[in-house]
Structure 1
Amino acid sequence: MAEHKLTVEDLLRSPALQLRLLAGEAGLSRSVSWAHVSELDDPTPWLLGAEVIMTTGLGVPRTAARQRAYLERLDDAGVSALALSAQLHVPPLHPAFFEAAESRGMPVLEVPLAVPFIAIAQEVAAALQEDASHRLGAQLQVFGALRWLASEDLDNATLFNRLERLSGYDVYMCTPQGRALLPGVPVPALDVLPKEPDAPPTIPGGFVLPVSAPGGPAGFLVAFEREGARPAGLAVVQHIATVAALQVAMARHEHETLRREGAETLAELLQDVLDPPAARRRLARLGLPLAEDSVLLVVRGAPDDALRRALDDLPHLMLRRGDDHYLMGPPELGSAIAALPGVRAGMSRPFPPGESMRLVQREALWAVAHAAESGRPLVHYGDDTTGRWLPDDPATLAALVDHVLGEVLAYDKAHDSRLLASVRVWMERNRHTDDAAAALHIHPNTLAYRLRRFAALTGRDLSSSGAFAEVWLAIRAARQLGLLGFGP
Structure 2
Amino acid sequence: MGFLRRGLPHDRNGPDSLTTCFAMFAPPRSRRSGMSSHMLRAMPEDTQGEGSPTPAGERAVGSNAGAGAFETTITLETLCARLGSDLNPVVGAVTAGVRVSAVHVSELPDPRPYLAGGELLLTTGLKLPRTRAGSREYVLRLREAAVAGIGLGLGPRFDSTPAPLAAACIELGVPLLVVPGPTPFLAITKAFGALQTEGSTQRLQSAVSAQQALIRAATSSEDPATAILEHLGRSIGGWAALLHADGAIRHVRPASAASLVEELRPELNAREVIGVSSAASHIIRDQYVAVFPLSQGTELVGQLAVGTTMRLRPQDRQMIPLAVSMLGVAALDADRSREADDARRGAIAALVDVGDIGAALRLASALGVEGCADEGRVILVKSTRPRRVWTSIRLVLPGAFPGLPSDAPPWILDLGPERPNIGDVGRTLREADPEAAVLFSRRARLNDLGAIRTQLAAAADALAPGQVVWEQPPTAMAAHVDRAVDRLLDDEGPDAAQMLGAYLRHHGHWGRVSSELSIHRNTLRYRLGRLREILDLDIDAPDEAALLWLTLRARGVVAASESRPLR
Calculate the TM-score normalised by the size of structure 1: 0.50
By how many angstroms is 1:219 displaced? Answer: 2.0
Q: In the alignment, what sits opposite 1:154?
A: 223
Return 237-246 or 312-321, whichever deviates more.
Answer: 312-321
Contact map agreement 1:334 1:347 (CA 8 A) in 2: no
- 2:64 is equivalent to residue 29 of structure 1: no
User: Could you say what secondary structure the match of 2:102 adopts?
Assistant: strand
- 2:355 is equivalent to residue 272 of structure 1: yes
By how many angstroms is 1:243 displaced? Answer: 1.7
By how many angstroms is 1:372 displaced? Answer: 1.7
CA separation of 1:379/1:26 partners in 2, compared to 1, >3 Å: closer, same or farther? same
Residue among 212, 217, 224 paired with 1:140: 212
Superposition RMSD in Å = 6.1
Q: Whole-Å Cα distance in 2 between the matches of residues 113 and 90 of structure 1? A: 15
Q: In the alignment, what sits opposite 1:325?
A: 410
Residue among 468, 473, 486 paired with 1:383: 473
| One-letter identity of the residue aligned with 1:297 | I
Q: Whole-Å Cα distance in 2 between the matches of residues 200 and 384 of structure 1? A: 48
Q: In the alignment, what sits opposite 1:350?
A: 443
Superposition map of 1:300-319 within 5 A: 300=382, 302-308=384-390, 310-311=392-393, 313-315=395-397, 316-319=400-403
- 2:435 is equivalent to residue 367 of structure 1: no
Deviations 1:18-61 (A, max 9, x none): xx95177544221324569xxxxxxxxxxxxxx96437599x99
By how many angstroms is 1:178 displaced? Answer: 9.0
Superposition map of 1:54-453 within 5 A: 54=102, 56=104, 83-86=118-121, 92=141, 114=179, 116-126=188-198, 136-144=208-216, 147-148=219-220, 152-154=221-223, 156-162=225-231, 170-173=238-241, 175=243, 179=247, 181-185=249-253, 210-215=293-298, 218-222=302-306, 232-275=315-358, 278=361, 285-286=368-369, 288=371, 294-300=376-382, 302-308=384-390, 310-311=392-393, 313-315=395-397, 316-319=400-403, 320-329=405-414, 331=420, 332=422, 333=425, 340=433, 345-351=438-444, 355-356=445-446, 358-373=447-462, 375=464, 377-380=467-470, 382-384=472-474, 396=485
By how many angstroms is 1:342 displaced? Answer: 5.9
Q: Whole-Å Cα distance in 2 between the matches of residues 146 and 347 of structure 1? A: 42
| One-letter identity of the residue aligned with 2:412 | L
Contact map agreement 2:402 2:413 (CA 8 A) in 1: yes
CA separation of 1:96/1:198 partners in 2, compared to 1, >3 Å: closer, same or farther? farther
Q: Whole-Å Cα distance in 2 between the matches of residues 118 and 279 of structure 1? A: 79
Contact map agreement 1:173 1:180 (CA 8 A) in 2: no
Equivalent residues, number:
346
| One-letter identity of the residue aligned with 2:335 | R
Q: Whole-Å Cα distance in 2 between the matches of residues 289 and 23 of structure 1? A: 71
Contact map agreement 2:439 2:468 (CA 8 A) in 1: yes
Contact map agreement 1:207 1:223 (CA 8 A) in 2: yes
| One-letter identity of the residue aligned with 1:318 | P
CA separation of 1:283/1:225 partners in 2, compared to 1, >3 Å: closer, same or farther? farther
Q: In the alignment, what sits opposite 1:412?
A: none
By how many angstroms is 1:349 displaced? Answer: 0.3
| One-letter identity of the residue aligned with 1:481 | E
User: Could you say what secondary structure the match of 1:173 adopts?
Assistant: strand
Q: Whole-Å Cα distance in 1 between the matches of residues 542 and 372 of structure 2? A: 33
Contact map agreement 2:349 2:402 (CA 8 A) in 1: yes
Contact map agreement 2:440 2:471 (CA 8 A) in 1: yes
Greater relative CO (CA pairs within 8 A, separation 6+): 2
| One-letter identity of the residue aligned with 1:213 | Q
Contact map agreement 1:371 1:378 (CA 8 A) in 2: no
Q: Whole-Å Cα distance in 2 between the matches of residues 283 and 95 of structure 1? A: 77
Return 362-371 or 89-98, whichever deviates more.
Answer: 89-98
User: Could you say what secondary structure the match of 2:378 adopts?
Assistant: strand
By how many angstroms is 1:285 displaced? Answer: 5.0
Return 257-266 or 153-162, whichever deviates more.
Answer: 153-162
Q: Whole-Å Cα distance in 2 between the matches of residues 370 and 206 of structure 1? A: 43
Contact map agreement 2:382 2:460 (CA 8 A) in 1: no
By how many angstroms is 1:253 displaced? Answer: 0.9
Contact map agreement 1:359 1:392 (CA 8 A) in 2: no
Contact map agreement 2:217 2:224 (CA 8 A) in 1: no
Q: Whole-Å Cα distance in 1 between the matches of residues 387 and 394 of structure 2? A: 10
| One-letter identity of the residue aligned with 2:306 | V
Contact map agreement 1:347 1:368 (CA 8 A) in 2: no
Q: In the alignment, what sits opposite 2:156?
A: none
Structure 2 alignment gaps of length 5 or more? 1-58, 76-98, 124-137, 148-172, 180-184, 493-533, 548-567
Q: Whole-Å Cα distance in 1 between the matches of residues 103 and 195 of structure 2? A: 17
Deviations 1:305-350 (A, max 9, x none): 3434553633322123432212122644577558846655433102
Q: Whole-Å Cα distance in 2 between the matches of residues 113 and 207 of structure 1? A: 45
Deviations 1:334-379 (A, max 9, x none): 775588466554331024xxx52x4233334323312424657444
CA separation of 1:226/1:362 partners in 2, compared to 1, >3 Å: closer, same or farther? same
- 2:529 is equivalent to residue 481 of structure 1: no
Q: Whole-Å Cα distance in 1 between the matches of residues 357 and 429 of structure 2? A: 27
By how many angstroms is 1:247 displaced? Answer: 1.3
Q: Whole-Å Cα distance in 2 between the matches of residues 117 and 199 of structure 1? A: 40
By how many angstroms is 1:242 displaced? Answer: 1.9
| One-letter identity of the residue aligned with 2:411 | Y
Q: Whole-Å Cα distance in 2 between the matches of residues 57 and 350 of structure 1? A: 84
Q: Whole-Å Cα distance in 1 between the matches of residues 487 and 379 of structure 2? A: 24
By how many angstroms is 1:259 displaced? Answer: 1.3
Contact map agreement 2:293 2:303 (CA 8 A) in 1: yes
